Amino acid sequence: MTMPVQNGKLYVVATPIGNLSDISLRAIELLQSVDLIAAEDTRHIRQLMQRYGITNKLTPLHQHNEADASEILIKKIQQGLSLALVSDAGTPLISDPGQPLIKLAHNAGITVSPIPGACALIAAISASGLPVSRFIFEGFLPRTSSARKSFFQEKLDCPCTWIVYESSHRIQATIIDMAEILPGQRRIVIARELTKIYETVVNSTISQMVELFKTDKNMQRGEFVIIVTGAETIDKNKDISVEHEKMLRTLLKECTIKSAVTIAVELTGLKKRTLYQAALKLADSR
Ligand code: SAM
């Protein structure tokens, strides 16, 4: 159902993340009908507008001007103008500009209406096959290797699935850093070039992913979403997680089974019997 554009209202419009057909009918109508479109890159959005025969006024709103430009745009909306906010790709504000504008709009009592559509992280998790009833989106990873490793260290025990964006410049280094900190058998999905010709969704372990990036150089090209499963959630009476097993293994190198189990109970809060059985299995397999 089409809804007429309202004066004095701000619309947040999702645009495609690659395939230009991934835009809603409502988004097309709205981009044609609003008084003004605020775009991250006005040249970039023109390709989409040309494809759908949209002719409308554009104004730039990007990370370098959004503090000042947002205030000016809010005044215009208060005077009765209808405005659509778009970013270069996907959903505005998701690792994209727009937060100051939307915040100011709420403060000014302006109605903000989302026009939903493509978003790389949502597209990636829907095709990942990983547990996603709970997930954390962390945006872009730090650029340096040491900062990335600290980030992965913090994530080691995170119980739910987490997601990051990464660029082609750093993707291989990122996977190698990840393999140094997280258990090699942890499952990971890399969603590359979603909705485009070379779309690839790989679900494997972290160790297998390191090998894939070494052997297939095409994997390093394009745009990436990385999804990592959380530390295994476990039944306290049944089994122990990979991380807890790693800890127990380390303790067993230095202590007797009894001491290792006592320390592990204190550190993990797991049942003594569970840890004792796991410790016996580990000691047997040495
Ligand atoms: N606002 C966008 C969204 O809704 O997903 C994200 C913008 S952010 C500046 C760009 C990053 O999103 C890329 O570096 C990449 O990590 C991810 N991304 C965007 N398009 C993608 C695609 N087609 N396939 C995989 N990842 C993509």
| pLDDT tens sequence across 220-273 | 999 999 999 999 755 454 577 777 888 888 899 899 999 988 998 888 878 888
Question: 96 in ligand 1 pocket by Cβ < 6 Å?
Answer: yes
Please, are residues 226 and 151 in contact by the beta-carbon 8 Å criterion? no
| pLDDT tens sequence across 201-212 | 999 999 999 999
Question: 193 in ligand 1 pocket by Cβ < 6 Å?
Answer: yes
In three state form, how does the secondary structure of 153-191 look?
HHHCCCCCEEEEEECCCCHHHHHHHHHHHCCCCCEEEEE
Q: Which of 165, 167, 174, 202 to mutate to test the pocket of ligand 1 (most atoms within 8 A of CB)?
A: 165
Q: Which two tokens stand for residue 264?
A: 């592990």
pLDDT band for position 284 (cuts 50, 70, 90): confident
Q: β-pairing, 224-228 with 161-166?
A: antiparallel
Rg (CA), the chain: 24
Atom of ligand 1 nearest to the CA of 165: 16
C-alpha 259, offset from chain centre? 41
Number of H helices, E strands in the chain: 11, 10
Question: 77 in ligand 1 pocket by Cβ < 6 Å?
Answer: no
- CATH architecture of structural domain 10-118: 3-Layer(aba) Sandwich (3.40)
Question: 224 in ligand 1 pocket by Cβ < 6 Å?
Answer: yes
| pLDDT tens sequence across 114-150 | 999 999 999 999 999 999 999 999 999 999 999 999 9
Which residue's C-alpha comes closest to atom 20 of ligand 1? 17
Q: Which of 40, 138, 170, 224 to mutate to test the pocket of ligand 1 (most atoms within 8 A of CB)?
A: 224
The domain 121-228 belongs to what CATH superfamily? Tetrapyrrole methylase, C-terminal domain (3.30.950.10)
pLDDT above 70: residue 36: yes
Question: 171 in ligand 1 pocket by Cβ < 6 Å?
Answer: no
| pLDDT tens sequence across 66-106 | 999 999 999 999 999 999 999 999 999 999 999 999 999 99
Q: What is the average per-residue pLDDT within 3-10?
A: 92
CA of 119 to the centre of ligand 1 (A): 7
pLDDT above 80: residue 285: no
Of all residues in the chain, the percent with pLDDT exceeding 70 is: 96
Question: 135 in ligand 1 pocket by Cβ < 6 Å?
Answer: no
Residues 6+ apart with CB under 8 A from 169: none
Question: 95 in ligand 1 pocket by Cβ < 6 Å?
Answer: yes
Q: Which two tokens stand for residue 231?
A: 């530390």
Cα-Cα-Cα-Cα dihedral sign, residues 20, 23, 27, 29: positive
What is the spatial distance between Cα 182 and Cα 155, in angstroms, rounded to a whole number?
Answer: 9
Altogether, the residues listed in the chain come to a count of 286
Domain residue limits, the chain: 10-118, 121-228, 242-285
| pLDDT tens sequence across 17-33 | 999 999 999 999 999 99
Question: 195 in ligand 1 pocket by Cβ < 6 Å?
Answer: yes
What is the spatial distance between Cα 31 and Cα 150, in angstroms, rounded to a whole number?
Answer: 42
